[in-house]
Structure 1
């Protein structure tokens, strides 16, 4: 089983590298936001620059987890190769695991330009243990968004997945404080912010890398979103399995 997962992961990564536009987009826009907004306005403040770096790094990673995964899963369902793989003795597990691993590799890679800009042009600072913990928090924080991506990909066509995932992505990024600090958002947005999953991940990243005190409501709601997204993804998979293979 492990050799099959490795083989599928290698194939999916090669497939991604041959058409790298989504990888470039996921890495480009957060880095540009760092240069345009963080470097001139918060670059000299170590705490603010560190928190902004964590937010924008996750912004790029979240794009690959939610938008990228939903589109690729929907596209897989429309190709004859994927249903054939699901009928083989190994079942869908190797390719499914490979798709998750490939998505994680792409999303983590998209964070590199943001970290480089922060290291070269701002006063953002953290320790190596905090940086490693922050990377772990990013991976853990991607789970609910990957589950949402799976849900969208399993219930929509590839064209619809593009629209639906983007409609979810940008409001959640803004409401969660990934684009602008929650403190400068309008009052009604500040009231909603702790209840979206992006705010919970941001709170974790800020606490780990900058030493801030996390909002308890945001962390609890992140757990709630993860459970709900897992249930939705499981239901969507069983629905898709029943429709096409029963």
Structure 2
């Protein structure tokens, strides 16, 4: 089984490298935003620059987890090869696991541009243990968004998945405080923000890398969102399986 998972992961990584538009977008857009909005206004403040770097890194990782995964899963379902693979004795686990591993690898790649810019152009600072712990938290934090991507990809056609994933992505990024610090959000948005899953991941990353005190409500909300989308993704898979193979 491990060999099958590794084979699927290699296949999806090669697909990303051959058509790297999604990978480049998830890496370059946060880097461009960081240079345009963080370096001039918060680059001289070590704590603010560190928090902004963590936010922009997660912004790119979430794009790959939510948008790219939802589109690729939806496209897979529309290919004649996919139903054949799902009838094989190995089942869906190798393909789904390979897809998730490839997405996590893309997440790590998307970290590099913002991390380098933060080191070279700002006063952002953290320790190596905090940085490594932050990367681990980032990989864990994208899990609910990968589950959202799977859910969207399993219940919608590819064209609809593109629109819906983007409509979800940007509001969650804004309300979650990834593009503006929470204290700068409008009052009504600041009230809602802790209940959005992006805020929970951001609070965790800020606490690890910059030493802030995380919002307990945001962390509990993140855990709740993870459970809900996991159940929903499992339901969507069973629904798709029943409609197409029963």
Equivalent residue number for residue 144 of structure 1? 144
| Distance apart, 1:125 and its partner CA | 0.4
CA deviation vs aligned residue, 1:81-122 (integer Å, no higher than 9, x gap): 111111111111111100000011112211110001001100
Structure 2 CA distance for aligned equivalents of residues 151 and 184 of structure 1: 32
Once the two structures are superposed, the pairs formed by residues 71-86 of structure 1 within 5 Å of their partners are 71-86=71-86
Structure 1 CA distance for aligned equivalents of residues 126 and 120 of structure 2: 14
Structure 1 CA distance for aligned equivalents of residues 143 and 64 of structure 2: 12
| TM-score, normalising length: structure 2 | 0.99
Equivalent residue number for residue 216 of structure 2? 216
Equivalent residue number for residue 112 of structure 1? 112
| Distance apart, 1:172 and its partner CA | 0.2
2:97 is paired with a residue whose SS is helix
CA deviation vs aligned residue, 1:111-159 (integer Å, no higher than 9, x gap): 1100010011000000000001100110111111010000000000000
Alignment pair present for 1:188 and 2:191: no
| TM-score, normalising length: structure 1 | 0.99
Runs of 4+ in 1 over 6 A off after TM superposition: none
Equivalent residue number for residue 131 of structure 2? 131
Equivalent residue number for residue 39 of structure 1? 39
Equivalent residue number for residue 236 of structure 2? 236
Equivalent residue number for residue 176 of structure 1? 176
1:110 is paired with a residue whose SS is helix
2:232 is paired with a residue whose SS is helix
Count of matched residue positions in the alignment of Structure 1 and Structure 2: 246
Alignment pair present for 1:22 and 2:11: no
Equivalent residue number for residue 157 of structure 2? 157
2:44 is paired with a residue whose SS is coil
1:111 is paired with a residue whose SS is helix
Equivalent residue number for residue 67 of structure 2? 67
Structure 2 CA distance for aligned equivalents of residues 78 and 104 of structure 1: 24
Equivalent residue number for residue 121 of structure 1? 121
| Distance apart, 1:80 and its partner CA | 0.8
Structure 2 CA distance for aligned equivalents of residues 12 and 143 of structure 1: 18
| Distance apart, 1:61 and its partner CA | 0.2
| Distance apart, 1:40 and its partner CA | 0.7
| Distance apart, 1:202 and its partner CA | 0.4
